[in-house]
């Protein structure tokens, strides 16, 4: 199977598991979020679903969007193994709250992430023309790496190092244990919950939102036949988001009242992004917006309520009550499910048919009648899925604020129904992979093999001068 497709399907599987889990245990979202179950489920969603899909999509799209080739497919294959083992182990160990093993499985995951980042950085170094999209991807990779480092440090701080006394710091194992103990000592300076929030922000905003904003400037013009309307505006959105995030990470970690100022910077970045997005859409030549794009654009517009929530939650001196605790839950849920997952579902309706089409029909183009990408799935199911997702999102949000487990269950059931429609369409798309529908064109002569075409192409340069 094609490598990006392997990542995408694995990610989709993790999403199904996560939503099923929430239906069985709705109390997870209806209580304060600092417990092992919320953390296990969050990592299943964030690492299993979102990260895996984003990685697969990046392996496919970064080289294409930046007009170069992926540095190494082999490294990516190895990363896939580390990713699956790392995530599965981490989620399981969070659930039983064994932080030592979380650290071990987290290190496996981190090794994979190192390969991923290395592979993409090498790819970026080959980019012929540096663009804003390349800058956004680089920033996203940087914040993602930092997220992993901070996450592992938090896990380190939750372990004990009794064996350090018996081990000499000059031995390999001793040096490692002493090193980990120093990290734990350093992390003890920070408030645990603040460190967790800072870690979550780095990943959520730094990796995912940065990628969504960055690739918008390539994909929205490509899919709607439009152009970036103001490159300065686009660059400003990325810059504000980066500066805001750097400050926000520090101020969340240190519980500083300056947090609000940096939240404002990030919100300003998102507002400028929304402004440019609107301008690109108004200038588009392809009038109809397909439903994949509507998923994406609806998700992105949910950044507006999310920004308001962010401003409220970063208000200096905000007291933690049961209600503000639920608002924090809502913030996380709306960000991860409402914005990021919804946007990814929309983009999957673009990339999944494309990848399958590429494999099944790529060589048939010009030889056979090949289906259009939109013919590979049912638009009816896709539209039904859109409305169910949106209503599930609203229901779960209201129920989360009201701390009502029954409402959370109802909302998640709607989300699960929406995912069922998605599963039907994924099945339809994959059926083209298993059984391609190829109808020969009305040919006047027997078709030539591609080899003939390639071998005869070389000496024809002279034709240009002949014209």
- 354 binds another protein per the rule CB under 8 A: yes
- What residues from 321 to 350 belong to the interface with another protein (CB under 8 A)? 350
- Distance of alpha carbon 38 from its chain centroid, rounded? 19
Q: Does position 285 bind another protein by CB under 8 A? A: yes
Q: Does 92 bind another protein (CB under 8 A)?
A: no
| Least distance between another protein and beta carbon 129 (Å) | 9
**Collapsing DSSP states into helix, strand and coil, what is residue 369?**
strand
Binding to another protein by residue 288, rule CB under 8 A?
Answer: yes
Check residue 57 for interaction with another protein (CB under 8 A): no
CB of 364 to another protein, least distance (A): 8
- What burial class does residue 453 get, using C-beta atoms within 10 Å of its C-beta: 0-12 exposed, 13-18 middle, 19+ buried? exposed
CB of residue 465 to another protein, shortest distance in Å: 10
Tell me how far apart the alpha carbons of residues 185 and 216 are, in angstroms, rounded to a whole number.
Answer: 41
Select from 363, 387, 438, 439 the one that contacts another protein (CB under 8 A).
363
Looking at beta carbons only, is 173 or 441 nearer to another protein? 441
Binding flag, residue 464, another protein (CB under 8 A): yes
| Binding of another protein by 232 (CB under 8 A) | no
Please select the residue that binds another protein; options are 365, 383, 394, 438, rule is CB under 8 A. 365
Q: How far apart are the first and last CA of the chain?
A: 44
Contact assessment for residue 16 and residue 77, using Cβ atoms and an 8 Å cutoff = no
For residue 230, the SS3 value is coil
Q: How many residues does the chain have?
A: 467
Pick the stretch among 190-198, 400-408, 422-430, 452-460 that binds another protein (CB under 8 A).
Answer: 452-460
Q: Which of 19, 44, 54, 65 binds another protein (CB under 8 A)?
A: 65
Q: What residues does 368 pair with on adjacent strands?
A: 365, 440
Does the protein bind another protein through residue 301 (CB under 8 A)? no
In this structure, are residues 356 and 430 in contact, taking their beta carbons and an 8 Å threshold?
yes
d(CA 51, CA 454): 39
257 binds another protein (CB under 8 A): no
Please tell me the distance from the alpha carbon of residue 152 to that of residue 415, in angstroms, as a whole number: 31
Q: What is the distance between the alpha carbons of residues 246 and 307, in angstroms, rounded to a whole number?
A: 17
**Beta pairing partners, 369:** 439
Q: How many CB atoms lie within 10 A of CB 351?
A: 21
- The CB density around residue 137, as the number of other CB atoms within 10 Å, is 25
Binding test (CB under 8 A) with another protein, winner from 1, 322, 434, 460 = 460
Q: Which of 35, 171, 182, 456 binds another protein (CB under 8 A)?
A: 456
Q: Which residue of 24, 173, 225, 308 would you call a contact of another protein, by CB under 8 A? A: 225
Please give the residue ranges that form the binding site for another protein (CB under 8 A): 60-61, 64-67, 218, 221-223, 225, 285-288, 350, 354, 357-358, 361-363, 365-367, 369-375, 441, 443-445, 447-448, 450, 452-453, 456-457, 459-461, 463-464, 466-467
């Amino acid at each position: 199977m094609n490598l990006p497709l392997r990542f995408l399907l694995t990610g989709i599987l993790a999403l199904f598991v996560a939503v099923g889990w929430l239906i069985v245990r709705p109390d997870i979202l209806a209580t304060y979020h600092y417990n092992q179950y919320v953390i296990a489920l969050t990592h299943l969603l964030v690492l299993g679903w979102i990260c895996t899909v984003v990685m697969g999509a990046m392996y496919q799209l970064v080289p294409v969007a930046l007009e170069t080739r992926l540095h190494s497919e082999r490294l990516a294959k190895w990363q896939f193994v580390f990713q699956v083992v790392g995530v599965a182990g981490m989620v399981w160990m969070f659930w039983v709250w064994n932080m030592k093993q979380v650290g071990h499985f987290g290190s496996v995951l981190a090794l994979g992430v190192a390969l991923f980042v290395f592979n993409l950085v090498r790819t970026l170094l080959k980019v012929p023309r540096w663009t804003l999209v390349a800058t956004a991807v680089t920033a996203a990779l940087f914040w993602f790496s930092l997220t992993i480092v901070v996450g592992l440090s938090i896990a380190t701080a939750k372990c004990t190092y009794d064996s350090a006394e018996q081990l000499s710091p000059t031995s390999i194992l001793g040096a490692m244990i002493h090193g980990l103990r120093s990290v734990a000592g350093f992390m003890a300076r920070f408030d645990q919950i603040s460190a967790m929030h800072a870690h979550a922000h780095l990943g959520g905003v730094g990796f995912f939102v940065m990628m969504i904003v960055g690739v918008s400037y390539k994909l929205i013009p490509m899919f709607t036949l439009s152009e970036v309307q103001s490159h300065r505006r686009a660059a400003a959105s990325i810059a504000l988001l980066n500066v805001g995030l750097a400050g926000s990470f520090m101020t969340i970690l240190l519980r500083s009242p300056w947090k609000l100022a940096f939240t404002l910077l990030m919100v300003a970045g998102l507002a400028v992004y929304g402004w440019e997005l609107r301008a690109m859409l108004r200038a588009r030549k392809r009038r109809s917006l397909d439903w994949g794009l509507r998923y994406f654009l609806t998700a992105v517009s949910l950044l507006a309520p999310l920004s308001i929530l962010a401003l409220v939650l970063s208000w200096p001196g905000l007291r933690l009550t049961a209600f503000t605790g639920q608002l924090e839950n809502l913030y996380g849920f709306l960000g991860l499910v409402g914005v990021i997952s919804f946007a990814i579902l929309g983009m999957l309706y673009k990339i999944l048919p494309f990848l399958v089409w590429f494999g099944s029909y790529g060589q048939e183009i010009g030889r056979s009648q090949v289906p259009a990408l939109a013919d590979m799935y049912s638009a009816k199911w896709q539209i039904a899925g859109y409305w169910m997702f949106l209503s599930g999102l609203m229901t779960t949000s209201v129920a989360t604020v009201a701390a009502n487990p029954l409402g959370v269950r109802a909302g998640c059931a709607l989300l699960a129904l929406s995912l069922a429609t998605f599963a039907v369409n994924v099945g339809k798309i994959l059926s083209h992979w298993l059984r391609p529908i190829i109808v020969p064109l009305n040919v006047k002569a027997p078709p030539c093999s591609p080899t003939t075409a390639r071998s005869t192409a070389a000496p024809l340069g002279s034709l240009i001068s002949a014209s």
